[in-house]
């Protein structure tokens, strides 16, 4: 249902003469990709990373910096963004995954802050002013300057990542990851070196966020340090929790609802964050499995 | 003569001033059950944790066959064939009983870095998992969530998981704890059936179970092994009666 609606959106928006719909939903799809990648480690691995914006930013800056140097082939720039984010995740994961609980949250946050201040400091990349892109990258056969084309590329990549993540969590690898979330001691006693499994999941999640960041750079034709801010990391977590931990698809609803509420509530009051907080509280208290759990439950009955 | 699979020498562990293992030596052989008894706080569970690799000893050696495993972590020891059951259940609560056992089956493979095939439809995991569940009598409960199983069933699931690991050494931490009379009988029968194929170390308070299962008994008091021998010798040993059995009347 949702998917049919998403595919029908661009022609629908054209007919109804509401072209900004496509832009709004493109933004949702991109942030949803980052949220889904975060759900992979938070929802299935129990690894509450409070620094997911760092990978998002590294993905985006990779595109902008490559463009600055004249490299605008998407087939080179996008994989480069994914690899750069994955490498950062491998480094952060190697150091942070030795800790658990609050220490893990703090270390992932600390690394993200380091990325943030590095981006602020590098004047060649615009520092606080950010870095604009002259044009979107070039993809063979697809003209990304067309908003509808970019929309479908984002939708396709989001669906591909969800499919990949869904496969991962159902595989042997996923069994170990999910087992370690609820009983790490048992996993070790069975003979699983759990650290490696968590690290692989952490890197895949970082790569997903890097891809989202790359798409964001293409969409906005601008990258800035905001992409790496800790409030951005918090937003990704809110999307995951709102949508329902450990459901993958839920994170998409979470992103849609968060962005929807943001523009809707902001129309009433500048203190919309206050209302959002109340809504989040209600969801966490009364729908423990998030929006996805609530929707799935309704469908079952 | 059966082979010694697990040999412990001069094991010592202290938490601050509290000595929990004091120069402990013991051996476990294939086909034998070595019971570890002693009053609460004697250091039985900490000793088992050192054998499993969860707690590092301060001194002493633990040998598995020809290999010194004293410095290996719990996952490395498990891969060599040292399995343990837990006193406080640590099964994965939101997995089904079969999922829990399937994890133990896949742990035997060289790696679980397999990303594509669905583990839920993998016969190479599911068939052995189901067989282990049937063996402990949990066949009909295979698809029940582990957290929905009764206490006795969870104890049996613990055992099914350990069996699925196909270990050479089985470290059992109070498998009878909290079981009713009939459940205890069933558990004892199961352990007797398993015994010939493994080297078993059993921590147990249920003396009936110790009498029926143990080929050898070591009595641990305040971290020190005060006596070791057959159940009959131990039962009549005055030091043991004073330190332990006497306390219970």
What is the per-residue pLDDT across B132-162, written as a single tens digit (0 to 9) for each? 999 999 999 999 999 999 999 999 999 999 9
pLDDT band at A298 (very low <50, low <70, confident <90, very high): low
B16: pLDDT strictly greater than 80: yes
Domain final position from B166, B190, B216: B166
What interhelical angle do A172-182 and A194-220 show, nearest 10? 100
Residues B57 and B71 occupy one common structural domain: yes
Q: Which uninterrupted H or E stretch holds A191?
A: none
B161 domain residue, yes or no? yes
Q: pLDDT over 70 for what percent of chain A?
A: 98
Q: Can you list the alpha helix ranges (DSSP code H) found in chain A?
A: 2-15, 20-42, 52-68, 74-96, 101-121, 147-170, 172-182, 184-190, 194-220, 230-243, 249-266, 272-286, 290-300
In a shared domain, residues B174 and B117:
no
The verdict on residue B139 lying in a domain is yes
Q: Give the tokens for residue A56.
A: 């998002």
Residue B90 C-alpha, separation from nearest chain A C-alpha, in angstroms: 6
Pairing verdict, β B67-68 and B59-64: antiparallel
Rg (CA), chain B: 18
Give the pLDDT mean for A252-278. Answer: 86
Q: How far apart are CA A80 and CA B210, in angstroms?
A: 63
Interface of B with A in 47-106 (CB under 8 A): 52, 54, 73-76, 78-79, 83-84, 86, 90-95, 99, 102-104, 106
Q: Which of A140-154, A277-291, B105-119 has the lowest mean pLDDT?
A: A277-291
Candidates A45, A171, A189, A201: best to mutate against B (most CBs of B within 10 A) is A189
A18-53: per-residue pLDDT in tens?
Answer: 888 899 999 999 999 999 999 999 999 999 999 999
Residues B33 and B55 in one domain: yes
- State the residue range of the domain holding B180: 1-81+168-249
CATH number of the domain bearing residue B56? 3.40.50.300
Confidence of residue B2 (pLDDT cuts 50, 70, 90): low
For residue B88, is it within any domain? Answer: no
At residue A300 the predicted structure's pLDDT band, cuts being 50, 70 and 90, is very low
pLDDT for res B246: 53
Beta bridge partners of B26: B8
* Minimum-distance CB partner of B117 among A171, A182, A187: A171
Taking contacts as CB-CB distances below 8 angstroms, the residues of chain A near B120 are 170
Please classify residue A124 by burial: count the beta carbons closer than 10 Å to its beta carbon, then call 0-12 exposed, 13-18 middle and 19+ buried: exposed
Last residue of a domain, one of B122, B144, B166: B166
Q: What is the dihedral of CA A199, A202, A203, A205, to 10 degrees?
A: 160
Same domain, B8 and B77: yes
A243 close to A39: Cβ distance less than 8 angstroms: yes
Q: Which of A167, A178, A190 sits opposite B104 (nearest CB)?
A: A190
> For residue B189, what are the CA distances in angstroms to B17, B185, B213?
41, 6, 9
Final residue belonging to a domain, choices B112, B144, B166: B166
- Both tokens assigned to B41: 């706080």
Q: Which of residues 37-56 of A touch B (CB under 8 A)?
A: none
Contact at CB, B91 and A186, closer than 8 angstroms: yes
Q: What is the per-residue pLDDT for A166?
A: 96
At A17 the pLDDT is 86
In whole angstroms, give the CA distance from residue A152 to residue A97: 36
When pLDDT is cut at 50, 70 and 90, the band that residue A299 belongs to is: low
A189, B115: Cβ pair inside 8 Å? no
Burial of B61 by CB count in 10 Å (0-12 exposed, 13-18 middle, 19+ buried)? middle
CB contact under 8 A, B103 and A200: no
In a domain, B86, yes or no: no
B103 to A188: CB separation less than 8 angstroms, yes or no:
no
- In this structure, the answer to whether residues B177 and B76 fall within a common structural domain is yes
Distance of alpha carbon A19 from alpha carbon A8, whole angstroms: 13
- How many residues would you count in chain B? 249
Q: Sign of the CA dihedral A175, A176, A178, A184?
A: positive
Across the interface, of B74, B78, B103, the residue whose CB is closest to A179 is: B103
Total beta-carbon pairs less than 8 A apart between chain A and chain B = 96
Q: State the pLDDT at residue A274.
A: 85
**Same domain flag for B53 and B66:** yes
DSSP, collapsed to helix, strand or coil, labels residue B23 as strand
**In a shared domain, residues B117 and B69:** no
Q: Give chain A positions within 8 Å (CB) of B161.
A: 190
C-alpha dihedral, B56 to B60 to B63 to B69, nearest 10°? 30
Tell me which residue of A44, A59, A50, A41 sits closest to A108, measured CA to CA.
A50
> Do residues B108 and B176 share a domain?
no
The overall average pLDDT reported for chain A is 93
Distance from CA of A176 to the nearest CA of B (A): 7
Contact B92 A173 (CB under 8 A): no
Answer whether A171 sits within 8 Å of B118, measured CB to CB: yes
- pLDDT of A297 > 80? The answer is no
Cα A47 to Cα A37: distance, rounded to the nearest angstrom: 12
- For B103-120, the pLDDT digits (tens) are 999 999 888 988 888 999
* Angle between helical axes of B97-107 and A172-182 (0-180°, round to 10): 110
In a shared domain, residues B149 and B175: no
**In chain B, whose CA is at the least distance from the CA of A198?**
B113
Q: Which residue has the higher pLDDT, A15 or A213?
A: A213
Instruction: Please report residues of B whose CB lies closer than 8 A to that of A186.
Output: 86, 90-92
Residues of A in contact with B90 (CB under 8 A): 183, 185-186, 189
Does an H or E element contain B211, and which? Answer: helix B207-213
Answer yes or no: is B191 within a domain.
yes
Please state the domain extents for chain A.
26-229
Number of folded domains in chain B?
A: 2
ipTM score of complex: 0.91
Question: Do both B13 and B71 map to the same domain?
Answer: yes
Q: Is A199 on the interface with B (CB under 8 A)?
A: no
Interface of A with B in 158-177 (CB under 8 A): 167-168, 170-176
Specify whether B119 is located in the same domain as B241. Answer: no
Nearest-CB residue to B79 (from A167, A182, A191): A191
For the sheet containing B59-64, what is the strand order? B18-29, B4-15, B59-64, B67-68
Q: Domain for residue B87, yes or no?
A: no
The 10s digit of each residue's pLDDT in B167-202 is: 999 999 999 988 999 999 999 999 999 999 999 999
B125 and B187 housed in the same domain: no
- Any idea which residue has 């719990």 for tokens? B74
What is the C-alpha separation between B242 and B221, in angstroms, rounded?
11
Instruction: Tell me the CA end-to-end span of chain A in Å, nearest whole number.
Output: 18
């Amino acid at each position: 249902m949702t998917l049919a609606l998403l595919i029908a959106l661009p022609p629908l928006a054209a007919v109804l003469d509401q072209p900004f719909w496509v832009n709004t939903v493109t933004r949702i799809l991109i942030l949803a990709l980052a949220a889904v990648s975060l759900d992979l480690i938070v929802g299935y691995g129990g690894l509450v990373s409070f620094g997911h914006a760092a990978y998002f930013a590294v993905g985006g800056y990779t595109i902008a910096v490559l463009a600055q140097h004249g490299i605008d082939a998407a087939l080179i720039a996008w994989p480069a963004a994914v690899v750069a984010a994955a490498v950062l995740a491998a480094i952060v994961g190697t150091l942070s995954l030795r800790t658990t609980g609050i220490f893990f949250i703090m270390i992932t946050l600390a690394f993200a802050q380091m990325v943030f201040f590095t981006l602020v400091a590098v004047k060649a990349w615009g520092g606080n002013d950010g870095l604009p892109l002259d044009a979107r990258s070039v993809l063979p056969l697809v003209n990304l300057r067309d908003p509808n084309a970019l929309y479908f590329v984002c939708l396709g990549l989001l669906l591909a990542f969800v499919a990949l993540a869904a496969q991962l969590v159902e595989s042997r690898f996923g069994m170990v990851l999910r087992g370690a979330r609820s009983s790490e001691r048992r996993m070790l006693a069975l003979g699983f070196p759990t650290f490696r499994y968590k690290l692989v999941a952490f890197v895949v999640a970082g790569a997903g966020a890097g891809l989202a960041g790359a798409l964001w750079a293409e969409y906005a034709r601008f990258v800035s340090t905001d992409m790496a801010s800790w409030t951005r990391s918090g937003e990704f977590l809110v999307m995951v929790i709102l949508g329902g931990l450990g459901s993958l698809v839920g994170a998409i609803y979470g992103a849609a609802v968060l962005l929807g509420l943001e523009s809707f509530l902001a129309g009433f009051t500048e203190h919309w964050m206050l209302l959002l907080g109340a809504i989040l509280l209600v969801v966490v208290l009364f729908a423990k499995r998030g929006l996805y759990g609530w929707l799935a439950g309704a469908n079952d009955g | 003569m059966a082979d010694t699979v697990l040999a412990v020498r001069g094991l010592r562990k202290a938490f601050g001033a509290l000595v929990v293992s004091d120069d402990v030596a013991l051996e476990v052989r294939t086909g034998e059950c070595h019971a570890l008894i002693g009053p609460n706080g004697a250091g039985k569970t900490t000793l088992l944790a050192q054998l499993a690799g969860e707690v590092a000893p301060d001194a002493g050696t633990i040998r598995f066959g020809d290999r010194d495993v004293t410095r290996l972590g719990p996952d490395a020891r498990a891969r060599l064939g040292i399995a343990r059951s837990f006193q406080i259940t640590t099964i994965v609560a939101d997995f089904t009983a079969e999922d829990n056992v399937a994890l133990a089956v896949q742990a035997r493979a060289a790696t679980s870095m397999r990303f594509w095939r669905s583990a839920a439809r993998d016969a190479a995991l599911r068939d052995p998992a189901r067989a282990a569940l049937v063996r402990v009598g949990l066949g009909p409960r295979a698809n029940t969530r582990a957290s929905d199983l009764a206490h006795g069933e969870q104890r049996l699931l613990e055992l099914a998981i350990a069996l699925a690991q196909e270990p050479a050494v089985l470290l059992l931490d109070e498998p009878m704890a909290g079981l009713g009379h009939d459940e205890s009988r069933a558990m004892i029968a199961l352990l007797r059936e398993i015994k010939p194929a493994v080297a078993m170390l059993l921590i147990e308070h249920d003396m009936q179970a110790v009498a029926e299962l143990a080929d050898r008994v070591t009595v641990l008091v305040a971290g020190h092994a005060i006596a070791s021998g057959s159940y009959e010798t131990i039962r009549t040993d005055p030091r043991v009666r004073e330190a332990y059995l006497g306390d219970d009347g």
